[in-house]
Amino acid sequence: MKDYITVIGGGLAGCEVAYQIAKQKIKVKLYEMKPQKYSPAHSNADLAEIVCSNSFKSNLLTNACGLLKEELRRLDSLLIRIADQTRVPAGQALAVDRDVFTQKVTKEIVENPYIEIIKEEVTDIKDMLKDGIVIIATGPLTSDGLANQIQELTGQDKLAFYDAAAPILQKDSIDFDIAFYGDRYSQEKKKEETEEQWKQRLAEQEREEQSYINLPMNQEEYENFWKALVEAEVVTLHDFEKKEIFEGCMPIEIMAKRGIDTLRFGPLKPVGFDDPRTARRPYAVVQLRQDDKQASLYNMVGFQTNLKYGEQKSVFSMIPGLQKAEFMKYGVMHRNTYINSSQLLDDTYRLKSIPNLYFAGQITGVEGYVESISSGLVAGLNASDDFRNDFKNELAVRNESELQMIGAEVRGKKTLLFGIYSNRSFSEVYFYSQY
Ligand SMILES: Cc1cc2nc3c(=O)[nH]c(=O)nc-3n(C[C@H](O)[C@H](O)[C@H](O)COP(=O)(O)OP(=O)(O)OC[C@H]3O[C@@H](n4cnc5c(N)ncnc54)[C@H](O)[C@@H]3O)c2cc1C
């Protein structure tokens, strides 16, 4: 038996896996293909790269993802601890400064005496599996060589769909004669307020909270923008349009093609805002969310896109306030690979047919940063117990309700119950998750 566990993929799940195993004084060999090779969405040489939005979603315990984060805190998740340390203002959400976050995670992993990092793309795991435990955490953009081998080992057709990331802008290139700060609903003028009182309140709010920038549009501006958007050229148009698109991360140009008002009832919804220039609700509002600690970068909320870079520049610059916008990063569309977990994995994230092979992270079918971290934590604890031939941690983890639901969701059981627990206490959630 090898005296270490092999982890493939130094993303969010892989780093959490490695930390949880190392914490139990078991050696880890962590393979990461960057900087030798980058996926289409990764660009930073650090580990645990945040590829798109900087938001870890709600921090409220009345929300399923908030509850999950709290459980991860109690179970000593390294990545959630660092997310808390690198927090940037984002209302009730936990959003992080992406660069500081990845730097801190990388430092922790690099300095951990139980973890050896090997910067190589893994394309063949057969030798690794001989007398050793292997955990695959290579994410939605698992490189082709390894994805083919996973397909071969699992005996199933590879599953994949397509989703997309939004552009990130430099704040100092935004025109603040048009743009205004504020959260939905708290920004709008209250009935009892005079215009003067409202503007004074906005000025006070702005001094404390700049997590969202809003760009109001009138009808003409919106319709011109919509027309340009639906006519703009996308990357490999014919190819992507035939593929399966993930509804939760729908490219904005595809959503726009569903109808002229679809965006106004979706990401460009104006409800809860009044334009400070007119004191009236705009026809549509584009929101930008703070992306780094210095508040120098903002991402375009809901603007995941597959438009060509030149088209992103010209079409998105039609949005009032963005005429001179500088793009730090353009949106991209990407493949999303996952395995059929409900059939292939057992309760511990282990492949039923090859019990020394585990999976963690988005490749198991969970979606999102926090969910990927949580599956890394569970798989890491279970693999450590497996290494010692003692499954005590599995039980400990299964007693933690929201994590169990994530596991249950992956295994295809009780899926419909997920999320209903958001306003229940830990013990109630646990109770319900047993039935
Ligand atoms: C473009 C894009 C936008 C996204 N936007 C969001 C978002 O806004 N919010 C959200 O919550 N989630 C988002 N996601 C999902 C997000 O990727 C996951 O939530 C999370 O990063 C998954 O963690 P992971 O560890 O499973 O995979 P990743 O974080 O992707 O880590 C996988 C790692 O494995 C490495 N790797 C891949 N193949 C190999 C190999 N053969 N050998 C060695 N190393 C390899 C990669 O380089 C990478 O570092 C997005 C994903 C993409 C691709």
Locate the domains of the chain by residue range: 4-159+337-433, 168-331
The number of the ligand 1 atom at minimal distance from the alpha carbon of 123 is: 41
Q: Is the CB of 301 under 6 A from ligand 1?
A: no
Q: What torsion do the CA atoms of 193, 199, 205, 211 make, to the nearest 10 degrees?
A: 120
273-279: list long-range contacts, CB under 8 Å, 24+ apart: 273/182, 273/184, 273/187, 273/188, 273/214, 273/216, 274/187, 274/188, 274/189, 274/198, 275/180, 275/216, 276/180, 276/199, 276/202, 277/178, 277/216, 279/189, 279/195, 279/198
Q: Kindly tell me the sign of the dihedral angle through the C-alpha atoms of 219, 176, 229, 304.
A: negative
Strands (E), 324-371: 327-329, 333-338, 357-359
Q: What's the predicted TM-score (pTM) here?
A: 0.71
Q: Which of 139, 151, 153 is nearest to 38 (CA)?
A: 139
Per DSSP, the three-state class of 135 is strand
- Structure tokens that stand for 185 in this block: 């609903």
Give the CA distances from residue 108 to residues 105, 139, 379, in Å, rounded to whole numbers and listed in that order: 5, 21, 19
Q: Walk along the chain (435 residues) and give the pLDDT tens digit of each residue.
A: 899 999 999 999 999 999 999 999 999 999 999 999 999 789 899 999 998 788 998 898 888 888 889 889 988 999 999 999 999 998 889 999 999 999 999 999 999 999 999 999 999 999 999 999 999 999 989 998 998 899 888 886 656 666 678 999 999 999 999 999 999 999 999 999 999 999 999 999 988 888 999 999 999 999 999 999 999 988 764 444 445 555 666 889 999 999 999 999 999 999 999 999 999 999 999 999 998 888 999 999 999 998 999 999 999 999 999 999 999 989 987 777 888 887 888 878 899 999 999 999 999 888 789 999 999 998 999 999 999 986 655 544 444 556 666 665 565 543 323 332 322 333 223 322 222
Q: Is the CB of 32 under 6 A from ligand 1?
A: yes
Where helices occur in 177-308 by DSSP H, the ranges are 195-208, 219-231, 237-242, 252-256
In CATH, 4-159+337-433 is 3.10.350.10: no
Residue 248: what pLDDT?
62
Q: Is the CB of 29 under 6 A from ligand 1?
A: no
Is there a contact between 72 and 80 (Cβ–Cβ < 8 Å)? yes
Distance 14 CA to ligand 1 centre (A): 10
Is there a contact between 82 and 101 (Cβ–Cβ < 8 Å)? yes
Strands (E), 35-100: 55-58, 87-88, 93-96
CATH of 168-331, one of 3.30.2010, 2.40.30, 1.10.12, 2.30.29: 2.40.30
Q: Is the CB of 136 under 6 A from ligand 1?
A: no
Domain 4-159+337-433 shares a fold with domain 168-331 = no
Tell me the C-alpha distance between 359 and 243, whole Å.
25
Q: Is the CB of 267 under 6 A from ligand 1?
A: no
Q: How many C-beta neighbours within 10 Å does residue 399 have?
A: 12
Q: Which of 378, 408, 409 is nearest to 395 (CA)?
A: 378
Q: Count of alpha carbons within 13 Å of 99, Cβ hemisphere only?
A: 7
Residue 392: what pLDDT?
58
Q: Is the CB of 104 under 6 A from ligand 1?
A: no
Tell me the C-alpha distance between 393 and 378, whole Å.
9
DSSP state at residue 35: T
Tell me the C-alpha distance between 384 and 61, whole Å.
29
Looking at ligand 1, which residue's alpha carbon is closest to its atom 30?
139
Residue carrying structure tokens 């050896």: 116
Residue 336: what pLDDT?
76
The number of the ligand 1 atom at minimal distance from the alpha carbon of 47 is: 49
- Structure tokens that stand for 263 in this block: 């965006």
Pocket mutation for ligand 1, best pick of 65, 332, 372, 377 (most atoms within 8 Å of C-beta)? 372
Q: Is the CB of 8 under 6 A from ligand 1?
A: yes
Tell me the C-alpha distance between 168 and 215, whole Å.
15
Phi and psi at residue 300, in whole multiples of 5°? -90, 110
Per DSSP, the residues of 359-402 read E-SGGGT--SHHHHHHHHHHHHHHHHHHHTT--HHHHHHHTSHH
The number of the ligand 1 atom at minimal distance from the alpha carbon of 11 is: 31
Give the CA distances from residue 389 to residues 76, 235, 383, 393, 429, in Å, rounded to whole numbers and listed in that order: 23, 50, 9, 11, 29
Length reported for the chain: 435
